[in-house]
């Protein structure tokens, strides 16, 4: 079955490649998305992607995704920890969202241990670097099946 998955990235993820590489690795977001799209194609999945540093744009993209994609892989960046607007957008659209992080947020500063989004997501993947996106995709496809 052909599926469409939105890969949504929040603030500062456009800086991947140069941003704190000891935490986030050396790949750019484009590198990850290129490899993820190739991987997804094996499963007849089309990846569409969107990155924004602006909370309202991410809310708007979730609204657009409602009814047009099968699920969402979402790295909300720092918004993970405090955006009630994004939480409401996920809950309100009813989208199947996998919260995804490069780093293990539970092994970092205490303020990163809380996700206000996780309770309205189908699951969370964190800590596997670039591989987190691939694990999230496989988990999402199994969930949708």
Residues noted as catalytic? 24, 101
Binding status of residue 32 toward ligand DQA by CB under 6 A: no
| CA 126/CA 108 separation, integer angstroms | 12
| CA 26/CA 16 separation, integer angstroms | 7
* Residue placing its CB nearer to ligand DQA in the complex, 69 or 136: 136
Q: Could you give the count of Cα atoms lying within 13 Å of 56 in the half-sphere of its Cβ?
A: 0
User: 64-98 burial by CB neighbour count: b if 16+ within 10 A, else e?
Assistant: ebeeebbbbbbbbbebbbbbeebbebbeebebbbb
Kindly tell me which residue out of 3, 39, 106, 112 binds ligand DQA, with binding defined by CB under 6 A: 112
The strand pairing partners of 3, in sequence order, are 45
Binding status of residue 14 toward ligand DQA by CB under 6 A: no
Q: In the stretch 68-87, what mask flags binding to ligand DQA with x, by CB under 6 A?
A: -------x-xx-x-------
Q: How far is the CB of 89 from ligand DQA (least distance, A)?
A: 17
* Residue placing its CB nearer to ligand DQA in the complex, 39 or 128: 128
Kindly tell me which residue out of 45, 58, 89, 105 binds ligand DQA, with binding defined by CB under 6 A: 105
């Amino acid at each position: 079955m052909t599926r469409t998955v939105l890969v949504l990235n929040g603030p500062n993820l456009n800086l991947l490649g140069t941003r704190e590489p000891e935490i986030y690795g050396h790949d750019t977001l484009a590198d990850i998305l290129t490899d993820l799209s190739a991987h997804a194609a094996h499963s007849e999945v089309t990846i569409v992607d969107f990155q924004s540093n602006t909370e309202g744009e991410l809310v708007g993209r979730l609204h657009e995704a409602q009814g047009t994609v099968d699920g969402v892989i979402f790295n909300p960046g720092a918004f993970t920890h405090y955006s009630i607007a994004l939480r409401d957008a996920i809950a309100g659209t009813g989208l199947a969202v996998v919260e995804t992080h490069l780093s293990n947020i539970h092994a970092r500063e205490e303020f990163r241990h809380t996700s206000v989004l996780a309770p309205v997501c189908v699951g969370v993947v964190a800590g596997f670097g670039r591989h987190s996106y691939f694990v999230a995709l496989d988990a999402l496809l199994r969930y949708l099946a």
